[in-house]
Structure 1
Amino acid sequence: METKEMLLDHTTLAFPFVQELAKKPLTSVPPRYVHPDQDPPIISLDSSSPQVPIIDMQRLLSEDFMDSELQKLDQACREWGFFQLINHEVSSSLVEKVKLETEKFFKLPMEEKRKYGQLEGDVEGYGNLLEMWRDSKLHWRDSLYFTISPPHLRKPHLFPNLPPSFRETLEAYSADLKNVVAEILKHIRKKTKNG
């Protein structure tokens, strides 16, 4: 009996890009994109819909609120695996610039985006992220995934070759995020050390 481990051949299979599929008149969703075992999508967000946990950095760094915010952070990491951080020190203009540069990248012609395509056996690049199993279902999205930090782990064919404005914006954003993480960890260590 074959297992998923046996099916992994360390090559990324050629899947159609979602942006290209969306341009075609489809009468049905291609089978590789159908997830019958998934929860039905949330159609409307009402008060009973699950809400992404929100962590307030200012409360996290405050002596008065640190304990309760640390509990929220712990719960978010255990139950969700992610959270939204508010009141951080990353400028809203930089966050907006990252969004705009990312949108510009995804609006590039397909020939240009293909230059950043995932290579065989690698998840980094442009494509359908982490879909290396022959029988796996694909997500209805194209992704751009690459390592920014630490710089020595960057793939030489990806990050250094991005359009300069996108690369510079990501560098600035990465540096700010690194500072935010360092500040949070410093306060958590201090709290842990002082009990």
Structure 2
Amino acid sequence: MLTLLMFVISFSNRTTMGEVDPAFVQDQQHRPKLSIIEAKGIPEIDLSPILPHAAPDQYDIDTLVKEIGTACKEWGFFQVTNHGVSLSLRQKLEEASRKFFAQSLEDKKKVGRDEINPTGYYDTEHTKNVRDWKEVFDFLSKDPTFIPLTSDEFDNRVIQWSNPSPQYPPQFRIIIEEYIEEMEKLAYKLLELIALSLGVEAKRFEEFFKDQTSFIRFNHYPPCPYPHLALGVGRHKDAGALTILAQDDVGGLEVKRKTDQEWVLVKPTPDAYIINICDIIQVWSNDVYESVEHRVTVNTKKDRFSIPFFLNPGHDAEIKPLEELINEQNPSKYRPYKWGKFFVHKIGSNFKKQDVENLQIYHYKLS
């Protein structure tokens, strides 16, 4: 593994593309462009009508549901304000994250992940078989979390994943656990709005999350001398149900716009959360909503930090289009799959380059 200092030294001491570590180099067609398109069109949605102290107003809630539905259909991404998450708690978490990543590599590796229990710290994640320019720390929403031992559909064995306990910064674990509670509350509010926007009962998705496999991730993207060759995270779609992202003011998240397939920079909005619907909602909605490709660019001068929360169902949840959305005119477009098996396959591909294409939801598409 390379430390962050070694990242910079190894890249800055080389002058030609051929001398750059090829593990980080994106194929020509996937490299960032020098010109930037800013995503002014990504909707910003005010959630104040559903805050606990808000007086219920059906018109405001109906309007909110329509805004959510339009954002899901047109972008697959939106930002939320007046979301009810404590700003002071978020600031404490962001400060703790910076302190954690500022440690030596030796100290961070004390809570390192492995192929048996893939939570904790690591700096060698691959996306689409290209190494990402980042380091991360993963922490499960539920400890312990039960997950299939293998992705083999005939193997019924289940193993237990558990969280590491970082010793620094002090109280880091306690702050994380408090923040996760807030993320779950926000996620369930958003799921209700999305369900209503699809025309199904508000609590329709609740049953899938009784034994959830959700987790929170801390990302650190160090300065990169070759931002035109490498990416913080390569192009991808999120496999779970919903992602709630807190990012700093540096920026770097890019979304592939559905209308013209251009990469668009998402400008950071202070204190807002960026929401994207993921593959599972695409399947549940029977393609009414689409999980959208996104990536993260890097820069030569500034560290970037972000904290996504990935809302995932229980490992034994069967994922398929909702029965309420299926009829003769709109038949099911996916065959069912077990979330846990799918998840284990995806996690396993993060450690190293694969000889075969990673599993995607289109592999379950019905012709």
Q: Same fold (TM over 0.5)?
A: yes
Q: 1:161 & 1:16 partners in 2: Cα distance?
A: 21
Alpha-carbon spacing, 1:38–1:189, altered in 2? closer, same or farther (3 Å): closer
Q: 2:86 & 2:34 partners in 1: Cα distance?
A: 31
What secondary structure does 2:101 align onto? Answer: helix
What secondary structure does 2:144 align onto? Answer: helix
**Do the aligned partners of 2:125 and 2:132 also contact (CA within 8 Å) in 1?**
no
Q: Determine which structure has greater relative contact order: mean sequence separation of CA pairs < 8 Å that are 6+ residues apart, divided by chain length.
A: 1
Q: Where does residue 173 of structure 1 map in the other structure?
A: 179
Work out which of the residue numbers 10, 16, 19 in structure 1 matches 2:2: 16
What secondary structure does 2:131 align onto? Answer: coil
Alpha-carbon spacing, 1:58–1:101, altered in 2? closer, same or farther (3 Å): same
Establish whether residue 30 from structure 1 lines up as the match of residue 21 from structure 2. yes
Q: Where does residue 131 of structure 1 map in the other structure?
A: 126
Matches within 5 A, 1:34-49: 34-35=25-26, 36-41=28-33, 44=36, 49=38
Q: 2:78 & 2:60 partners in 1: Cα distance?
A: 18
Q: 1:78 & 1:121 partners in 2: Cα distance?
A: 38
Work out which of the residue numbers 137, 142, 151 in structure 1 matches 2:135: 142
What secondary structure does 1:113 align onto? Answer: helix
Deviation at 1:81, TM superposition (A): 5.0
Alpha-carbon spacing, 1:93–1:31, altered in 2? closer, same or farther (3 Å): same
Alpha-carbon spacing, 1:130–1:110, altered in 2? closer, same or farther (3 Å): closer
Deviation at 1:101, TM superposition (A): 0.5
What secondary structure does 1:169 align onto? Answer: helix
Alpha-carbon spacing, 1:150–1:156, altered in 2? closer, same or farther (3 Å): closer
Alpha-carbon spacing, 1:50–1:185, altered in 2? closer, same or farther (3 Å): closer
Structure with higher strand content: 2
Query: Could you tell me the TM-score, scaled by structure 1's length?
Result: 0.68
Deviation at 1:120, TM superposition (A): 2.8
Deviation at 1:56, TM superposition (A): 2.0
For 2:13, the aligned partner's letter is L
For 1:34, the aligned partner's letter is V
Alpha-carbon spacing, 1:108–1:156, altered in 2? closer, same or farther (3 Å): same
What secondary structure does 1:175 align onto? Answer: helix
**Do the aligned partners of 1:60 and 1:184 also contact (CA within 8 Å) in 2?**
no
Q: Where does residue 57 of structure 1 map in the other structure?
A: 47
Q: 1:86 & 1:129 partners in 2: Cα distance?
A: 34
Q: 2:71 & 2:123 partners in 1: Cα distance?
A: 27
Alpha-carbon spacing, 1:39–1:92, altered in 2? closer, same or farther (3 Å): same
Deviation at 1:116, TM superposition (A): 2.2
Establish whether residue 73 from structure 1 lines up as the match of residue 65 from structure 2. no
Q: 1:162 & 1:70 partners in 2: Cα distance?
A: 43
For 1:63, the aligned partner's letter is Q
Structure with higher helix content: 1
What secondary structure does 1:64 align onto? Answer: helix
Q: Deviations over 1:53-109 (max 9, x none)?
A: 433212466532333433443454456555432101111111111110100111011
Q: 1:107 & 1:131 partners in 2: Cα distance?
A: 22
Farther-moved stretch of structure 1 (27-36 vs 59-68)? 59-68
For 2:2, the aligned partner's letter is P
